[in-house]
Amino acid sequence: MELVNRNSPMPCYYQVYKMLKGNIENHTFYNGEQLPSERLLSEQFSVNRFTVRRAIKKLIDDGLVYTVRRKGYFVKTDEIDIHIHKKTSYTQNMLDHNMTPRIEVLGLETQEVTPELADLFKLEKGNMVWSIYILRYYNTIPYALSRMYLSYNRFPDLNIHFMKERSLYKILNQNYGVIPTRVSSVCEACLSDNFESKQLAVLGGVSLLKVTSVAVDQNGTPVEQSISKFRSDMVKVKIDLSNL
């Protein structure tokens, strides 16, 4: 790699940024490749680590690099296009990207229904709902956290089926005769909390894309509310609930 010219009017960090950007654009570093550590880059460019960190931050701001917490910096891969429509299955989204769907179950439990969910599912106070919390992966990189709520009484033994199958909509269809149809999805920006940052391997307080959706059965009765939070540096979300 070239060395920084300390006699140049261009700041040192910007010179490092330009050189790293050039290496990304000419594919010296390919998509998804991990960059050398800050320590190695500082040695290669003969600058301090703060200078390297400033250069990498600009690469991140430019959308050329993303960070994976406790692992380092990576050249940005192609965006994951999530198409949310009436029959959306995140499992199918991964298959469409020629990826093997992979999730990690962070929580599968029952809880007392909240006023919002009681109104949605037409439940009485004190009734229970399922809360399923999962982490979704793209290759080995976590890209989304999803929490799904469903009526406990309507879907008994859902926990047993889910631990075997992992595809919620397939379970509802095959085991309960329910064909879920998404009728609303709202996308908004939010900031990650400490737990979400840790699970998604991002720095604390980064922007996430939050999508809250409701699905109904064949009779138009709400059966699921889902709240998904996507890494905004990896995912592009398109919502289309028109008739397909």
pLDDT in tens, 137-175: 876 778 899 999 999 999 999 999 998 888 899 999 999
Angle, CA of 155, 177 and 240, to the nearest 5°: 95
Inter-residue contact 107 to 132 (CB < 8 Å):
yes
The lowest-confidence range among 2-11, 87-96, 175-184, 198-207 is: 87-96
Q: What is the pLDDT of residue 71?
A: 80
- Quick one: tokens of 105? 């179950």
Q: What is the C-alpha separation between 160 and 157, in angstroms, rounded?
A: 5
Alpha carbon distance 62, 65 (integer Å): 8
pLDDT > 90: what percent of the chain?
Answer: 57
Give the burial class of 244: count Cβ atoms within 10 A of its Cβ; 0-12 exposed, 13-18 middle, 19 or more buried.
Answer: exposed
Place of tokens 């994976």: 68
Tell me how crowded residue 159 is: count the other CB atoms within 10 A of its CB: 16
Task: Say if residue 235's pLDDT is above 70.
Answer: yes
Closest-CA residue to 205 (of 218, 194, 214): 194
Q: Between residues 241 and 17, which one has the greater pLDDT?
A: 17
- pLDDT band of residue 99 (cuts 50, 70, 90) is low
**Lowest mean per-residue pLDDT among 56-65, 80-89, 110-119:** 80-89
More confident residue, 202 or 44: 44
pLDDT grade for 88, boundaries at 50, 70 and 90: low
Of the candidates 190, 196, 195, 197, the one whose C-alpha atom is nearest the C-alpha of residue 67 is 197
Q: Domains in the chain, ordered, with CATH?
A: 12-75 (1.10.10.10), 80-239 (3.40.1410.10)
